[in-house]
Amino acid sequence: MLSFSLRRLFYSVLVIFGVVTVVFFIMNLLPDPARMMQGQRADLATQAAIRHQLGLDLPPLQRYLRFIGDVAQGDLGRSWSSNRPVLGSIMERFGATATLAIGAMTIATILGIGIGILSAVKSYTIFDNGTMLFALVGISVPAFVMGLLAMLLFGSVLDWFPVSGYMYQGDELHLEYLILPMCVLALRPISIIARVTRSSMLETLASDYVRTAKAKGVTWKSVVYRHALRNALNPVVTTVSAWLAGLLVGTYFIEYIFNWPGIGLQAVDAITRSDFPIIQGTVIFSAVIFVTVNFFVDILYSRMDPRVKLG
């Protein structure tokens, strides 16, 4: 078990190393930072000074090693527009993103699994066909379209919720600002979790041991919840964790549309301002979160399901 964890940990570090390398490579393809920072009319001396300050006058290999070293020490550079450390401003805003992501995933997990089980048990009925059609709609609508439509309906037409803004205004907490973005964000994972749960449950309900359980007279409820569900949950756990990781690292459009000050909104703002260090920092930070969540899921898996080989 310990050696398995250590090996997974080493692999995770390797993946993050790969991400940092890819980021370094892409950032080198982007337009020259010295020109971007100073505008078109910067004089050559200033540009050279900036290049020297950023270490851009060094040979590529040396720059790469320096970059890896900086990232390993948690130094992601400074923002070009505010000149503040990138990691600091990401950490500052991560709370807002995490609130939204965890809230949405809580709703999505409960509703998604519930709907999935019901659909599987009542398979091929009107309920099943109806919810699965809705789930397909949920998958088909891009986040920003869903966000705008929700804003249009609940914000403008019905006027139930504020159109956009953050839940903390000064020190006051206004939870009504959280509801709309959280629900919109939950729709896609609900649909996907429901579909995965349903198909996994259908497969387990058709298996031999479920038939055996039924044959020996176990109640239907107990068959579904104690025998089938436990074994059907594996792919569901994968989906839930992948979505949690996915939402934690970026709910760009929902944050942008609802003006929610998380790391997603910060990244979109950085893109419009060509503030590359922020984008670069967000990518690396996201990859670390993503890999970390997946690392813990792998460990959880091997504890939960003895069929998973510790290889």
Partner 1 sequence: MNPINQGSDVPHRLGKDEIDRRRHENESVLKQTPRSLWYYSWRRMKRNKLAMLGLGITFALILIAAGASFLAPFDPNSQVLEYSTEPSGFHGNILISKSEANPNQTIPIPIAECRVQGNRVIYTTSEGRDKSIALSRLAGNSEKDWHKTPTYYLGTDRYGRDVLSRLMYGARISLTVAFFAELCSLFIGVLIGSIAGFYRGVTDDVFMWFTNVVWSIPSLLLIIAISIALGLGMWQTIFAIGITEWVDMARIVRGQFFTLRETEYVEATKALGLSNKRTIFRHILPNSLGPIIVIATAGFANAIIYEASLSFLGLGVQPPTSTWGQMIHDGYGFIAAGSNWGLTLYPALAIMIAVFAFNLFGDGLRDAFDPKLKR
Tell me whether residue 29 or residue 45 sits nearer to partner 1 (CB atom): 29
- Contact indicator for 89, 169 with CB cutoff of 8 Å: no
CB of 148 to partner 1, least distance (A): 5
Tell me whether residue 17 or residue 225 sits nearer to partner 1 (CB atom): 17
Tell me whether residue 49 or residue 139 sits nearer to partner 1 (CB atom): 139
Tokens 């609508």 correspond to: 141
CB of 217 to partner 1, least distance (A): 27
Q: Which residues of the chain form contacts with partner 1 (CB under 8 A)? A: 11, 14-16, 18-19, 22-23, 26-27, 29-30, 124, 133, 136-137, 139-145, 148-149, 151-152, 155-156, 163, 249-250, 252-253, 257, 267-268, 271-272, 274, 279, 282-283, 286-287, 290-291
CB of 151 to partner 1, least distance (A): 6
3-state DSSP assignment of residue 42: coil
3-state DSSP assignment of residue 173: strand
Name the nearest CA neighbour of 103 among 248, 255, 306, 289. 248
Tell me whether residue 114 or residue 165 sits nearer to partner 1 (CB atom): 165
Report how far residue 76's alpha carbon sits from residue 280's, in angstroms, rounded to the nearest whole number: 8
Sequence-separated (6 or more) residues with CB below 8 Å from residue 123: 198, 202
Tell me whether residue 177 or residue 252 sits nearer to partner 1 (CB atom): 252
Cβ-count burial of 5 within 10 angstroms (0-12 exposed, 13-18 middle, 19+ buried)?
middle
Name the nearest CA neighbour of 97 among 249, 284, 289. 249
CB of 286 to partner 1, least distance (A): 5
Dig out the tokens for 284 from the structure.
Answer: 């690396």
CB of 123 to partner 1, least distance (A): 10
